[in-house]
Amino acid sequence: MDRSTHLNHNSEGSGAYRGHPVNQRMTDSEQTDEYSCENNSPSTSNPQNQPTHADGYTKIPPNESRWSKLQRIAKEEEENLRRWKEENRPGPIQLTPERLGGAVSLAEVRQRQQDESRLSKLRKKLRNEEMDKKKRQAEEEENEKMKAMQREKADKLEMMKKQDEEQRQNLYQHDKQRKREEFLQRIERSSTTVSMAAGNSIPASSWAKCHEHREARREEENADLLKKKEEQRRKVEHGLPRPSRGE
């Protein structure tokens, strides 16, 4: 029995097949006759199967004949489906035996595996060495950049120190020249006063001479003190130890 005959048989016996539409359909007259038969059946005419109304609710009992008919149709469809599966069950698969693994022997395969393992270890070692080399090279480049920056900063600092030293030397020379000129001017004024006093035949007192001598000596001491202070300041700036007062 082929599948088309089987489906036609199912459509004639049960009226429908699950999963496959039926070509033959019932006409309106047949449906009307079936509905009238169901309504005129003894189970429908039974007063127990009539709907009852109570307290605003309607109770509709099940139609036993329709339920039994649906159960019978479902069983027939399941039986037809089972029979169709049995008839169309695929047969056993038969394959010709063949030898797997190709034409390579087990010893050759093991040797290839050992060679590949050895080569993979060597490649891994070379890759790690290359990565370490690149890392060291990057670190060296970074160190060179840092050294260049520090060298540039040191050069700028040294240049600034030289400029400050030249400026201090200029200020010291200018101050020294000014002090010297003031000292010479005072000596000239004192000599002029002495000459004027000698011209007037008025002898200078010993107190005036002593006062002038003290002033001149004080000027010399101040000049020497300024010079020593400048030398000490220069030594401190250049990192030399500062001499004690006893020296």
Q: Assign 20 to helix, strand or coil.
A: strand
Both 75 and 133 in one domain: the answer is: no
Both 77 and 145 in one domain: the answer is: no
Pairwise pLDDT comparison (212 vs 92), residue with the higher score: 92
Both 136 and 232 in one domain: the answer is: yes
Average pLDDT across the chain, whole number:
75
8, 24 Cβ separation under 8 angstroms: no
- pLDDT confidence band for 104 (50 / 70 / 90): confident
Question: Domain for residue 104, yes or no?
Answer: no
Cα–Cα distance, 101 to 232 (Å, whole number): 96
Question: Domain for residue 9, yes or no?
Answer: yes
Both 148 and 226 in one domain: the answer is: yes
Both 72 and 172 in one domain: the answer is: no
pTM exceeds cut of 0.75: no
Both 134 and 76 in one domain: the answer is: no
- pLDDT confidence band for 29 (50 / 70 / 90): very low
Question: Domain for residue 217, yes or no?
Answer: yes
Average pLDDT estimate for 156-161 = 92
Question: Domain for residue 15, yes or no?
Answer: yes
Pairwise pLDDT comparison (64 vs 104), residue with the higher score: 64
For the ranges 37-41, 94-98, 210-214, 228-232, which has the lowest average pLDDT? 37-41
Both 227 and 130 in one domain: the answer is: yes
Pairwise pLDDT comparison (180 vs 201), residue with the higher score: 180
Say how many Å lie between the first and final Cα of the chain, rounded.
Answer: 136
Both 167 and 80 in one domain: the answer is: no
For residue 29, what are the domain limits? 3-46+62-85
> At which of 54, 85, 116 does a domain end?
85
Question: Domain for residue 90, yes or no?
Answer: no
Question: Domain for residue 52, yes or no?
Answer: no
Helix (H) or strand (E) holding 142: helix 106-199
Question: Domain for residue 131, yes or no?
Answer: yes
What percent of the chain is modeled with pLDDT above 70? 69
Q: How many domains does the chain have?
A: 2
Q: Please name the residues in contact with 17: beta carbons below 8 A apart, sequence gap of 6 or more.
A: 7, 10, 11, 77, 80
Both 166 and 229 in one domain: the answer is: yes
Both 73 and 129 in one domain: the answer is: no
35, 14 Cβ separation under 8 angstroms: no
Question: Domain for residue 212, yes or no?
Answer: yes
